[in-house]
Chain A
């Protein structure tokens, strides 16, 4: 009887669901929850090639990146919710503003449908390329290849759709997560895992800084 290893398949499903949520959903709260689920999927996919401790570093770094972005956005919303003249802006309208949602048109239904369709196209192209990837990186399993190409493709797609800091950083984190799955099988080293975790956190910090930069005190 054919034995199916359900855990890697679950990882792939988590990665697909979360990356598509990141691509389609304009709400920043949902996007950050999806980001943390995405890192759970990455953790499951790399846990059979990396020692559990090092695989957990990726999970924790990803979650920390999400927390950094969430704290920055909530801080930004607190700052701008009250205008200098004392009047208040409804938080919901700020949270759905273009700077957090993506770019003009990101929130419309047709925009969501378009992104979903292009995401499906990129996903299908990626899945057809995945077997070739396992030839280049022989230790890579089919599930890891599927997960990584989906993340690489959807990450690049997000980068192509936006010019806003939050969405750009989310796209870069998604792209890097896809690369990390491939590279974990190629180079299972503690230093590389540590440096990649620092880069994930650095990207989140850069994103948090860029989101708030115009509200910060002006330099000399």
Chain B
């Protein structure tokens, strides 16, 4: 048995089979969610490269050879696998409630397999090809049949396809060892690398596709594909930096990441504060999530930046980067699910259309607001402990950056307050309360709200686990 077979080939194969069985939509949601939960549990419990505790005759091998290259998923990758498949399980579990179409489960499984392959492939630069494949496979989810293809989908394919060559070329150009200061070809390779990641992750100024996508297509599908690709590309990026020792100790790279992170949080939050379309508001929140990921990864800067030994890495701060995944993923899924419920009942997601919806969709409105407030770092919710830890870490090295980042988060908070005001302001003088969500939708959203509060009130339950993901 082989780890790549279990966590790469099985989801891709099952996803392919599910494409044929689309008519059994509800059964596919159950089976698909069950499979990814099983894969997450296997990643948690089964050791790789050692005999299985209950079946000593069986060992899961860590390497699969394909055309002279390797796909390696070793024991140290198990936390990544657990995290990725846990998040996919959360999203697939909510897909029936979000009515996001019959393609989400099969595509979700294939995309998860391809993105896991991207993390496993050796040499690592081939990952860019697999990420591009995952983006192409996700098209049917973003452009469901029966409606014309939106501009956002075309921009999504364009930016993902343009990003791939930059990463491939930079991976080829970047040497294992460099002189200090780095030569011009090395600096060119670093610029190409940053451009590649900026195109893939919707980093400023290449973020237009994300806003366009969030505003035009089903919010649940858009958020799912975006979050899955963002998570994998971020892990791939951190892994890429960690593999090249000189790059890991290259202080200017962290300064650039910090600058981009702050810029994205600030601009995303600022635009969110003035936005009047809930889908696009979700897009701006996603920009803030990308910004916070960049900012958290910049906190793993060489300690030389703080005046100590250049080769040491501030691991606890880098751990924060991984700690963001689960709370942000849960908040985004809750927000997107609530928006999908809104979208099924209104013409569009402009403020004018959703005015007073809290009276007919109270649970979805509560879910949307809880998720929005959590991403805006409101105390008691899941985002707060992480943002406060990040700002506290950052305040030692760049206090002015903290101010700008807090302004951005404040903008997101202002957007949440405006949305609250719109949702509870009914056009009727005496609106009647009713609950039009289905039972499944209500149960999922209430569970998510409770989880957001539990994660905010008891961060010590899960943060040590996530922050230990750093290799």
A189 contacts the other chain (Cβ, under 8 Å)? yes
Bound complex: CA of A214 vs CA of B103, how far in Å?
A: 16
Question: Is the pair B136, A176 in contact by a Cβ cutoff of 8 Å?
Answer: no
Chain B residues 147-197 with CB under 8 Å of chain A are: 147-149, 151, 153-154, 157-158, 161-162, 164-165, 168-169, 172-173, 185, 188
**Segment at the B interface, from A44-52, A66-74, A191-199:** A191-199
B203 contacts the other chain (Cβ, under 8 Å)? no
B102 contacts the other chain (Cβ, under 8 Å)? yes
Q: Provide the residues of chain A in CB contact with B151, threshold 8 Å.
A: 163
B101 contacts the other chain (Cβ, under 8 Å)? yes
Question: Is the pair A159, B129 in contact by a Cβ cutoff of 8 Å?
Answer: no
Contact of A218 among B25, B129, B145, B158 (CB under 8 A): B145
Contact of A168 among B102, B139, B158 (CB under 8 A): B158
Bound complex: CA of A186 vs CA of B38, how far in Å?
A: 41
Bound complex: CA of A91 vs CA of B157, how far in Å?
A: 29
Bound complex: CA of A194 vs CA of B133, how far in Å?
A: 12
Question: Is the pair A219, B68 in contact by a Cβ cutoff of 8 Å?
Answer: no
Instruction: Kindly report which residue of chain A lies nearest to residue B138, judged by CB atoms.
Output: A206
Question: Is the pair B168, A183 in contact by a Cβ cutoff of 8 Å?
Answer: yes
Bound complex: CA of A216 vs CA of B151, how far in Å?
A: 18
Instruction: Kindly report which residue of chain A lies nearest to residue B145, judged by CB atoms.
Output: A216
A6 contacts the other chain (Cβ, under 8 Å)? no
> How distant is B4 from chain A, measured CB to nearest CB, in Å?
14
Q: Provide the residues of chain B in CB contact with A217, threshold 8 Å.
A: 145-146
> How distant is B257 from chain A, measured CB to nearest CB, in Å?
25
Chain A residues 167-183 with CB under 8 Å of chain B are: 168-169, 171-172, 175-176, 179, 182-183
Q: Provide the residues of chain A in CB contact with B67, threshold 8 Å.
A: 189-191, 194
B66 contacts the other chain (Cβ, under 8 Å)? yes
Question: Is the pair B158, A191 in contact by a Cβ cutoff of 8 Å?
Answer: no
Q: Provide the residues of chain B in CB contact with A191, threshold 8 Å.
A: 66-69, 126
A161 contacts the other chain (Cβ, under 8 Å)? no
Contact with B along A151-173 (1 / 0, CB 8 A): 00000000100010100110110
With A165-B149, A199-B133 as contacts: A219 and B101 at CB distance below 8 Å:
yes
B290 contacts the other chain (Cβ, under 8 Å)? no
Q: Provide the residues of chain B in CB contact with A176, threshold 8 Å.
A: 161, 165
Chain B residues 36-74 with CB under 8 Å of chain A are: 66-69
Q: Provide the residues of chain A in CB contact with B144, threshold 8 Å.
A: 213, 218-219
B277 contacts the other chain (Cβ, under 8 Å)? no
With A136-B185, A194-B67 as contacts: A168 and B154 at CB distance below 8 Å:
yes
Q: Provide the residues of chain B in CB contact with A171, threshold 8 Å.
A: 158
A210 contacts the other chain (Cβ, under 8 Å)? yes
Q: Provide the residues of chain B in CB contact with A203, threshold 8 Å.
A: 136, 157, 161
Chain B residues 67-109 with CB under 8 Å of chain A are: 67-69, 99, 101-103
Contact with B along A77-104 (1 / 0, CB 8 A): 0000000000000000000000000000
Could you list 8 A-B pairs, sorted by A, with CB under 8 Å? Answer: A165-B149, A194-B67, A195-B129, A202-B136, A209-B139, A218-B146, A219-B102, A220-B99
User: Which residues of A does B touch, CB under 8 Å?
Assistant: 136, 159, 163, 165, 168-169, 171-172, 175-176, 179, 182-183, 186-187, 189-192, 194-196, 198-199, 202-203, 205-206, 209-210, 213-214, 216-220
Closest 6 A/B residue pairs (Cβ): A218-B146, A216-B145, A202-B136, A210-B149, A179-B165, A214-B148
